[in-house]
Amino acid sequence: MKQMGDMLLRKEPFSEIVMGNTALVRAMVEAGTRVVASYPGSPTPEIAEAIASIPADRRPFYFEFSTNEKVATEVAYGAAVNGHLSTVFFKSVGLNVASDTFVQLGLMNIIGGMIIVLGDDPGANSSQNEQDNRHYARLSYIPVLEPASPDEVYDYYKKAAILSASKGMPVILRLTTHVCHAKQRVSFGAWTPVELDRTSRFDPANGPYIPIAADVFPMKRRALQRISEVRSWSDGSDLHTHIHYEHTGHGIITAGLPFLSLMDAIETTPEKPDILKLGMVYPLPEKLIADFLRSHSQIKILEELDDILEKEIKALAHDAQIPVRIIGKCDAEDWIGEYTPERVYDMLAKTWPELFPAKPAAQPASSVLPPRPPQMCPGCGHRSAFYAIQKALDPADITVADIGCHTLGFLPPYRIGQLLMCMGASPGMAAGLSLFNDNRNVICFLGDSTFFHAGIPGIINALFNRHNITLVLMENGTTAMTGHQDHAGSGKNFNEVVDRIPIRRVLEGLGVNHIFEIDTYKQAGLTDLVRQAIAVHELSVVIARHPCMLKFNREQRKKPGYIPRKVSIDQNLCQRIHDCVERFGCPTFTRDSNGRVDINADLCIGDGSCIQTCPVEAIQKPVEYRPAEK
């Protein structure tokens, strides 16, 4: 980590193999970024990890994890109108949370410059949808740069910073999952540290900053004017790449990661179409595109997710009366998932079979990785919670999941969670399900990071509108799913130890009358409390607490003299009832074809939460375990 931090602060130019997310942080340093804010979400958490690798006293900018993406955007905006170059980054769906603030940014005069780094997720690798955030750019009159690789992430961030500060407008840097995570050798420039300027340059005269009534119109006119200026600038900029294979017939327009897949796909084809790779996808460089259209008779548009380039380029060709055939998406599947080189080749083969002969169907791989369904970690407090809560539920009860590690409760063997939407949505959905419903209990779930992020309004709503729901707050002290970032209830922010904001105190402050709390490892007690909570005929909350054991165990292992502990099965006592495997479901337990249960010592963390699940007490207390004894 220290090495990465030193690298990110090198003064002389250097080159290194880095991830897109790491290249971004070096670009922030070189560009003179002063304030960065975020809320965690894949594919962006490694940006914060790279920032964390720079020792706090040498970090040339301020960083925070804010309580959610909207607040993070507001922090970055405030800093930017104060004259400091700022950045906010978050995952794709984070923009939905930030959007109420975000859509105004294009109207403002952002004197310091502001970059919004989006981690879009074609393929829904770690998101609940594959939304294409280029739509938001059009909605908000905010330019979008779209790098395809780590070196472009670095280069485009610096260009975005200059563009943003010079025009006083925000700029989006749209990354996608594999641009964030790809590694490449990147040549970095020099960096000269400067004394951090702590002067506020906020001046209302740079505004207006109050978009109401008649002021909205001049602000909107300015936003439109800037977009038109950026369009012309983009036309002459070096953001776009034109690859000439001297093909007058066929041309391809693409951007971002699909460009790399395209280069792979056409590597061995003898006759290659010309390529126009766009570095800025909103607004489009119209002159450049029109020239490309004019010099070809057929154009294929290659873009992941929605048909945004396609629609704009078709309109452009129509308005400019360019006689060219433009081929965009051909079937519904083209809207879905990531464009791998194989998919790109198949699409081209369908469009232009004369250039791309269909390839023989790929041979099935000789060794296929077994599918690995997601599951909770050994020792996870959420597992104990679901095991215990299941005993308190009636089969008719309605259970509403939320986003986090505890979402996995919907899987067998617990099957708790029949609906899921987005972070913080469960109390609201549960409230709706409780209306005109006298016969079924409604129980919903929230993680603690989510409680602070977007959960509180739904709880207030349930209280204020007197909804009869039970909320189980799965408190593990961290934002586990995205890699253990601290939150307002952790007692630590990104930079220092702070007073934790206890969830119980917040609930009491709101006036929740029925609050139960217990450690989830006390399984029988939790079952009992959930029964009591369900019996209440208004909002009741059960705080089901246990520290995240993955985090805890990682910390323990770093301690000198640490010796692992494991449970074991007393084969004389085991009656092969299999509750440990079938109802508790810890992956540590193995069962052979004769029904014999054993412990996988590589997985067991020796927490002992499983001991209570065996009706005949065959699971033995954890004892010290040294692998040599195997």
Interacting residues toward ligand TPP by CB under 6 A: 39-41, 69, 91, 93-94, 97, 403-406, 423, 447-450, 474, 476, 478-482
Q: How far is the CB of 99 from ligand TPP (least distance, A)?
A: 11
Residue 341, φ and ψ in degrees, nearest 5: -55, -40
Nearer to ligand TPP, 93 or 223 (CB): 93
Nearer to ligand TPP, 434 or 478 (CB): 478
Longest dimension (CA), the chain: 85
The single-letter code of the amino acid at 300 is K
Q: How far is the CB of 441 from ligand TPP (least distance, A)?
A: 23
For 37, the token pair is 């804010």
Nearer to ligand TPP, 83 or 404 (CB): 404
422 neighbors 449 (Cβ within 8 angstroms): no
Q: How far is the CB of 626 from ligand TPP (least distance, A)?
A: 32
- The whole-angstrom separation of Cα 193 and Cα 191 is 6
Q: How far is the CB of 174 from ligand TPP (least distance, A)?
A: 17
Nearer to ligand TPP, 179 or 549 (CB): 549
Q: Which residue has the tokens 């739509």?
A: 135
Q: How far is the CB of 405 from ligand TPP (least distance, A)?
A: 4
144 neighbors 281 (Cβ within 8 angstroms): yes
Nearer to ligand TPP, 84 or 383 (CB): 383
Q: How far is the CB of 450 from ligand TPP (least distance, A)?
A: 3
Nearer to ligand TPP, 283 or 424 (CB): 424
C-alpha dist (Å) from residue 23 to 156, 232, 530:
11, 28, 48
The single-letter code of the amino acid at 142 is I
List the 540-545 sheet strands across, edge first: 398-400, 442-447, 470-475, 540-545, 514-519
H or E segment at 449? helix 448-450
Beta-bridged to residue 446, according to DSSP, are 473
Nearer to ligand TPP, 140 or 164 (CB): 140
For 153, the token pair is 């992430």
Nearer to ligand TPP, 292 or 445 (CB): 445
Q: Which residue has the tokens 């409230």?
A: 431
Residue 115, φ and ψ in degrees, nearest 5: -110, 130
Nearer to ligand TPP, 38 or 468 (CB): 38
Q: How far is the CB of 475 from ligand TPP (least distance, A)?
A: 8
Q: How far is the CB of 412 from ligand TPP (least distance, A)?
A: 19
DSSP 446: E
Nearer to ligand TPP, 40 or 606 (CB): 40
For 54, the token pair is 């720079």
Q: Which residue is nearest to ligand TPP (CB)?
A: 447
Q: In this structure, how many other beta carbons lie within 10 angstroms of the beta carbon of residue 511?
A: 10
Strands (E), 223-324: 241-243, 250-255, 274-278, 280-282, 298-302
Q: How far is the CB of 453 from ligand TPP (least distance, A)?
A: 7
- The whole-angstrom separation of Cα 99 and Cα 94 is 8
Q: What is the DSSP string of 346-391?
A: HHHHHH-TTTSPPPPPPPPPSS-PPP----PPTT-HHHHHHHHHHH
Residue 562, φ and ψ in degrees, nearest 5: -65, 130
- The whole-angstrom separation of Cα 29 and Cα 588 is 44
CA angle 53, 58, 61 (to 5 degrees): 85
Nearer to ligand TPP, 258 or 585 (CB): 585
Q: How far is the CB of 424 from ligand TPP (least distance, A)?
A: 8
